[in-house]
Amino acid sequence: MELIKLVRPRPLLLAPLLLAALMFPACSSGGARGGGSPTFITTESTAISFETSPVAELEDPWVMTFLPDGKALVTEKGGNLQLVDPADGAKTKVGGTPTVVDSGQGGLGDVIPGPTFARDRGIYLSWIEEGEGGTGAVIGRAVLGQGPKPKLEGLKIIWRQDKTKGDGHFSHRMTISPDQKYLFVTSGERQKESPAQDLDTNLGKVLRLNLDGTPAANNPFADRGGVSAEIWSYGQRNPLGIAFDPDGNLWSSEMGPKGGDELNLIEAGKNYGWPKASNGSNYSGSDIPDHTSDDGFEAPKVWWNPSISPGSLMIYSGDAFGPWKGDAFVGALSGEALIRVDINGTEAIRADQWEMGERIREVEQGPDGSIWLLEDGPSGRLLKLTPA
C-alpha cells in the first residue's frame, strides 16, 4: 500500500498583464505550442491524501464497470471478460464472449450494465469484428449468467460501426442517459479524418440510440435516414470517454492529433471541428487551424498541448472525496497521470494532475465512492484509491 498526498498548490499572485496572458493566450495559426498551453487556472484547496492499493493484475485491461453487487467486470483487449471481486482481487473468466479482432487499438472494448440489470442482468459489450470493407466496432447485448462459471447468454449484435481498413480510432465507448432511455456511443473516425464531417457515415461521431440499438427518435439528422439518423454530434476524432454529469450534461474526452487533446461538452447537432479545426497539429508537422470563436465549430471546454492521450472519462458522484463531486477524472495514457477537471455547470477548468508512473487506461468510481484505475499493458494493475 502506498500513500500519496495530493496537494493542489495555491495560485501565485501575478502581475495583471501576465495574468491576462495566462488566461487569454494569443491565437495562432495552429500546431503545437512550445512549453504547453496556459489554458487553466489552479484553484485553492486544502491538502488531500489518499492510499493507493493494488488489487489485481490483468492482461491488457481496457475497461471496467461495477455491478450492483459490488463486483466488477473488466474487459481485456485480447477478448477475455473477467469478473473481479474487489475485496480480494479474485478473477473469474466469463464464458460466451465473442471472437474479437485484436489488432492495433482494436479488441474487446467497453462493457456497461443495462439500466434494468438488477432485474434481468442485461449488459452491453463492444468489440471489433472483421467484415466486408474492413473492420469496425460492434455493440452486443447479453445476459450475464450467475454461478461459479458465469457466461454471457443470448449475446446479440445490436449496432455496427461503418467498416473501413485500419486498426485505429474505433472509440466505441458507451453510457446510458440519466432517464435510462438511451444508449450513447462514441464512434471514432478510424484515422481517416474526413468521415468526421460526413453526415452519411457514423464515423467520427457521438451517437444516440434506443436501448435496442436502433436510432433514437428526433435525433438532429433523422430526416437524412440511414446511419445519419443515429448521429447526435459530429466532427469528433477519437473520443475514448463519455459520461453524464449530475446536472445531465454529456461530456466526452477525445484524443487529438499532435497535441489538442480535448474535453468536450456534447450537445445535439453540434460540429466539433475535426479535422478542420484543432488546437494541435498533424503528426507530419503541418498546420491545423486553431479553434476560434467564429469558425462555426464547437470548441473544447478544456484542451491539452502537449498531449496527455486521454483514454477514459469518469465524472465523480460519490461522497468519499466530497469536494470533487461533479468533477471529471481523466485517465492519461502518454501522460501517465490521473487528471481532475473542475466542472461548474457547462464550464470546466483544469485542476489537478497526479503523476502515476504508468499509462492509465481507465478510471472508474466504486460503489463506496472510491476511485479505481486500470494501468495499460500486458500486466496492468487494478488500483483502488481511498481517502487516507
Positions annotated as catalytic residues are: 169
| 3-state class (DSSP) for residue 142 | strand
The CA–CA distances, whole Å, from 241 to 9, 18, 174, 332 equal 27, 34, 8, 11
From CA 239, how far away is CA 380, in angstroms rounded? 22
Cell triple for 83 = 469478473
Q: Are 330 and 241 in contact (CB under 8 A)?
A: yes
From CA 388, how far away is CA 384, in angstroms rounded? 12
Closest to 260 measured CA to CA, from 294, 308, 292, 197: 308
| 3-state class (DSSP) for residue 72 | strand
Q: Are 108 and 75 in contact (CB under 8 A)?
A: yes
Distance of CA 109 to the CA centre of its chain: 11
Q: Are 328 and 314 in contact (CB under 8 A)?
A: yes
Query: Residue by residue, what is the 3-state secondary structure of 192-214?
Result: CCHHHHCCCCCCCEEEEEECCCC
Q: Are 120 and 114 in contact (CB under 8 A)?
A: yes
**Residues with Cβ within 8 Å of residue 333, at least 6 apart in sequence:** 308, 309, 310, 311, 359, 360, 361, 376
Beta strands 48-58 and 380-387 are: antiparallel
From CA 97, how far away is CA 42, in angstroms rounded? 45
Percentages helix, strand, coil for the chain (3-state, rounded to 5) are 5, 45, 50
